[in-house]
C-alpha cells in the first residue's frame, strides 16, 4: 500500500472519533493493569477499580486513558499476549462503550488488533515497532492513532547500556526509522506521535538532556509526547521516593511544554492538567502580544 504524503504539521494528530485536539496540551492518564509496574503495580488489577480510576482521570482532565497490561519498568519480564489481553480487554471494552478515548500500551500486534476491535482509538508501542512491526499493519487498517517510542533494548535490559555519542540525535534518528516502518506498512504520517522514551535506556542526566532537546525532535514533523511521570531521574535529583515525585513531574512537563511537547503521559492527572493549562495560557498570551 502506498503511503499518503508526509504530514509536517506537528500540531495535528489524526485520531478518528475522539475529538482529541492539540490546540492545547493533551494529557494521557496512566492506567496500569499490572501487578508489577514501578509506581502503581497491582493497584488497579480489579476491573471495577480500574474503571473508577479511569473515570476519575477523565473528570480531572485526561484527554485519553492509556491502558497497559504488561509492565515496562526496568528489569521487567514480558507476558504473553493472552495474559496481557486478559488484563486489559474488559477495561478497554467498557471504557470504549462509555465513549472514553482509550489508548492501549502494547508491543504486540495480536493485542493491538483485539484492542482496536474493541474500540481502542490509539496504540502506544514503547518499542517503536522493533518488537513486532505487524503492529503498524493494525494501525494502518484501523486508522488508529499510533504512538512510537524510543527504547534501547528491552525493559529487562534497557538500563544496562545508557551511553550515547549524541543522545538527542540518536533518539531522533531511531524515531525516524520507526516512522519509516509505520509509513512502509501503510500508516499516514498524521496518525503518528513520537515519544523520546524518558527513562527507557537513558541515564538520569540523559533524561534531562532529552527534555532540553525536544526542539530537535520536532524536526520529525510530528507531535512529541513525554512521559516523565514519577520517573527515577526525578527521585535521583530530589532524593525522594516514588510517591513524592509530583512536583518534579510537573516541572518536567512544563519544561517539555515550553520546548514544544504537546502530549503528556502522567499518573497525577488533575495536578498536571492544571499546571499545563496555566502555563499554556501564559505561553499563548505571549504569542498574541508578539503578533
Active site residue ranges = 231, 265
Between CA 56 and CA 221 the distance in angstroms is 33
Integer distance in angstroms from the first to the last C-alpha of the chain? Answer: 43
Between CA 135 and CA 186 the distance in angstroms is 11
Extended strands (E) in the chain: 26-32, 64-68, 102-105, 122-125, 145-149, 192-195, 225-226, 263-266
- SS3 at position 106: coil
Between CA 221 and CA 163 the distance in angstroms is 26
- Lookup: cell for 243: 510517591
Integer Rg of the chain from CA: 17
Between CA 21 and CA 12 the distance in angstroms is 7
* Distances 188 to 12, 88, 213, 233 between C-alpha atoms, Å: 12, 27, 26, 34
For residue 240, the 8-state DSSP code is -
Amino acid at each position: 500500500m502506498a503511503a499518503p504524503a508526509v504530514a509536517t504539521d506537528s500540531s495535528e494528530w489524526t485520531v478518528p472519533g475522539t475529538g482529541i485536539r492539540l490546540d492545547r496540551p493533551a494529557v494521557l492518564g496512566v492506567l496500569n493493569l499490572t501487578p508489577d509496574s514501578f509506581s502503581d503495580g497491582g493497584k488497579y488489577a480489579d476491573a471495577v477499580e480500574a474503571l473508577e480510576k479511569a473515570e476519575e482521570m477523565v473528570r480531572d482532565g485526561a484527554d485519553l486513558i492509556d491502558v497497559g497490561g504488561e509492565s515496562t519498568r526496568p528489569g521487567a519480564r514480558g507476558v504473553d499476549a493472552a495474559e496481557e489481553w486478559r488484563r486489559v480487554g474488559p477495561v478497554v471494552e467498557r471504557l470504549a462503550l462509555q465513549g472514553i478515548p482509550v489508548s492501549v500500551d502494547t508491543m504486540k500486534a495480536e493485542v493491538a488488533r483485539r484492542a482496536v476491535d474493541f474500540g481502542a482509538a490509539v496504540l502506544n508501542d514503547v518499542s517503536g515497532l522493533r518488537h513486532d512491526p505487524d503492529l503498524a499493519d493494525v494501525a494502518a487498517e484501523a486508522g488508529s492513532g499510533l504512538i512510537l517510542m524510543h527504547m534501547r533494548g528491552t525493559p529487562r535490559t534497557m538500563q544496562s547500556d545508557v551511553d550515547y555519542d549524541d543522545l538527542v540525535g540518536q533518539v531522533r534518528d531511531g524515531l525516524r526509522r520507526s516512522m519509516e516502518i509505520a509509513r512502509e506498512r501503510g500508516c499516514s504520517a498524521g496518525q503518528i506521535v513520537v515519544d523520546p522514551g524518558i527513562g527507557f535506556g537513558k541515564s538520569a542526566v540523559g533524561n534531562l538532556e532529552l527534555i532540553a532537546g525536544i526542539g530537535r525532535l520536532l524536526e520529525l514533523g510530528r507531535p512529541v509526547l513525554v512521559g516523565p511521570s514519577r520517573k527515577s531521574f526525578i527521585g535521583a535529583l530530589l532524593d525522594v521516593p516514588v510517591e513524592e515525585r509530583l512536583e518534579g513531574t510537573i516541572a518536567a512537563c512544563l519544561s517539555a511544554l515550553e520546548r514544544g511537547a504537546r502530549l503528556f503521559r502522567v499518573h497525577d492527572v488533575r495536578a498536571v492538567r492544571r499546571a499545563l493549562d496555566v502555563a499554556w495560557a501564559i505561553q499563548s498570551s505571549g504569542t498574541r502580544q508578539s503578533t
